[in-house]
Amino acid sequence: MRLNRKLEHIELSLRQKESAVSTGFDDITLVHNSLPQLNLADVDTSCTFLGKVLQGPLLINAMTGGHPELESINFSLAKAAYTVGVAMAVGSQRAALEDHAVRSSFTVVRDANPDGVILANLGADCTLNEAREAIKMIKADSLQLHLNVPQELAMAEGDRDFRGILQNIELLTKQLTTPVVVKEVGFGMSRETISRLRAAGAAYIDVGGAGGTDFIAIENNRSGRQTRWAWGIPTAISLLEGLAVESPGHLIASGGIVHALDCVKALCLGCSMVGMARPLLKILIDGSTEELTAYLQNLIADIRRIMLMLGARRIADLTSVPAVIGGTTYHWLARRGIE
Ligand code: FNR
């Protein structure tokens, strides 16, 4: 069942139309700087994440592994991450904990990128031993724990009991020596959730906001239902919710991010990394590893150009760039009392 589900997720996600929810980034306008006083060659997109240097603050987010047919996808994603110098997370390693025969679909990622930033991935209900095994399997720099309640509820075979997850996250962060990232899968997070996760010891929170891949729609589709719910907190709003309670540096923005301008908007708001999943998978499946590599290289080149137009020489300078927030995002912040 799980193996087929992995293949179906890829197929159905690639067929998915535009999300019923907007990411909110269209509500944000960055203030153009006509006098940046910079040389493009001096604009530096590099950053440090989990103790290693990246060429851009980008993460190929968790997607796949756990089936022999998925090994080549993970290998290609990892090759592109290696060539460009960005981070990558593998998909849930649950299948490999249960069946050693599919481990190579995950270990291939470390083989392709021996010194790069690679994140392990499991559901937030995993045991301490499972977490340790997943990290060891790929010599991971961090463990992502995913939260995906709406997806589980939409899945006929999904979980129904979500008690004790926060306590489990707390136990894992206390016992593991590897930093933990807690992520959503496209439904976003409120400041209350983000505060609780940080208090539980998460080193980073990936807000995984709404506006991109829609896992309720994917699971409904798998069960033959066509219902679409516009569910979740948009990505830009999730990020601003997080920044109401967190200083910049611990938040990762993801969910529906495709273009460099949205990456830069997210960095200006105060995230330290930007994650992308389905858009990158689509480029790889419709094209090739080379096309994915070129896309990521162009993305970084575009981020550099936008940084210059904002007068930002380093990624850290982006948090000082003025941004104007309008539309639904403005009203959301006002109603929630967020300045
Ligand atoms: C995912 N995602 C995901 N997340 C996770 O934590 N573990 C997983 O195993 C998977 N599997 C998976 C498969 C496929 C095919 C896709 C497209 C996505 C969720 C992913 O990491 C991300 O949070 C969401 O897809 C939202 O980002 P995008 O796709 O809008 O950039």
Residue 338 has pLDDT above 80, yes or no: yes
For residue 70, the 8-state DSSP code is G
Query: What's the average model confidence in pLDDT over 95-120?
Result: 97
CA-proximal residue: ligand 1, atom 17 (nearest): 278
Residue 231 has pLDDT above 70, yes or no: yes
Ligand 1, residue 92: give the atom nearest the CA: 9
- 177: burial class by Cβ within 10 Å (0-12, 13-18, 19+)? exposed
**Any residues with CB less than 8 A from the CB of 187 and at least 6 apart, and which?**
148, 149, 150, 208, 209, 210, 215, 231, 232, 233
pTM of the predicted model over 0.80:
yes
The residues pairing with 324 across neighbouring beta strands, listed in sequence order, are 29
Angle between helices 215-222 and 2-15 (to 10 degrees): 120
> What distance in Å separates the CA atoms of residue 156 and residue 47, rounded to the nearest whole number?
42
Q: What is the pLDDT of residue 3?
A: 65
> What distance in Å separates the CA atoms of residue 285 and residue 26, rounded to the nearest whole number?
28
Q: Which position has the token pair 């933990």?
A: 180
Distance 281 CA to ligand 1 centre (A): 10
> What distance in Å separates the CA atoms of residue 62 and residue 224, rounded to the nearest whole number?
25
Distance 257 CA to ligand 1 centre (A): 12
CA-proximal residue: ligand 1, atom 12 (nearest): 63
Q: How confident is the model at residue 257 (pLDDT cuts 50, 70, 90)?
A: very high
> What distance in Å separates the CA atoms of residue 299 and residue 276, rounded to the nearest whole number?
12
Query: What's the average model confidence in pLDDT over 53-78?
Result: 96
Q: How confident is the model at residue 280 (pLDDT cuts 50, 70, 90)?
A: very high
CA-proximal residue: ligand 1, atom 6 (nearest): 146
In short, whether 19's Cβ falls inside 6 Å of ligand 1 is no
Q: What is the pLDDT of residue 180?
A: 98
CA-proximal residue: ligand 1, atom 14 (nearest): 63
In short, whether 321's Cβ falls inside 6 Å of ligand 1 is no
Distance 339 CA to ligand 1 centre (A): 31
In short, whether 65's Cβ falls inside 6 Å of ligand 1 is no
Q: What is the pLDDT of residue 224?
A: 87
Between 14-18, 105-109, 148-152, 174-178, the lowest mean confidence (pLDDT) is in 14-18
> What distance in Å separates the CA atoms of residue 156 and residue 124, rounded to the nearest whole number?
20
> What distance in Å separates the CA atoms of residue 122 and residue 117, rounded to the nearest whole number?
17
Distance 91 CA to ligand 1 centre (A): 8
Q: What is the pLDDT of residue 226?
A: 78
Q: Which position has the token pair 């980073």?
A: 204
Q: What is the pLDDT of residue 317?
A: 98
Query: What's the average model confidence in pLDDT over 167-180?
Result: 98
Distance 139 CA to ligand 1 centre (A): 21
CA-proximal residue: ligand 1, atom 21 (nearest): 62
- Looking at every residue in the chain, the average pLDDT score rounds to 96
Helix residue spans in 16-100 (DSSP H) = 71-84, 94-98
Q: Which position has the token pair 């949205």?
A: 262
Q: Are 81 and 106 in contact (CB under 8 A)?
A: no
Residue 140 has pLDDT above 70, yes or no: yes
In short, whether 256's Cβ falls inside 6 Å of ligand 1 is yes
> What distance in Å separates the CA atoms of residue 276 and residue 206, rounded to the nearest whole number?
11
Ligand 1, residue 10: give the atom nearest the CA: 15
Q: How confident is the model at residue 2 (pLDDT cuts 50, 70, 90)?
A: low
Which of 68 and 298 is assigned the larger pLDDT? 298
Distance 277 CA to ligand 1 centre (A): 6
Query: What's the average model confidence in pLDDT over 89-94?
Result: 98
Q: What is the pLDDT of residue 225?
A: 86
Residue 227 has pLDDT above 80, yes or no: no
Distance 31 CA to ligand 1 centre (A): 32
Q: How confident is the model at residue 77 (pLDDT cuts 50, 70, 90)?
A: very high
* Residue 44 Cα distances to 36, 86, 144, 191, angstroms: 14, 14, 27, 31
In short, whether 186's Cβ falls inside 6 Å of ligand 1 is yes
Q: What is the pLDDT of residue 1?
A: 58
Distance of alpha carbon 297 from the chain centroid: 18
Residue 236 has pLDDT above 80, yes or no: yes
In short, whether 277's Cβ falls inside 6 Å of ligand 1 is yes
Residue 62 token pair:
């968790």
Residue 17 has pLDDT above 70, yes or no: yes
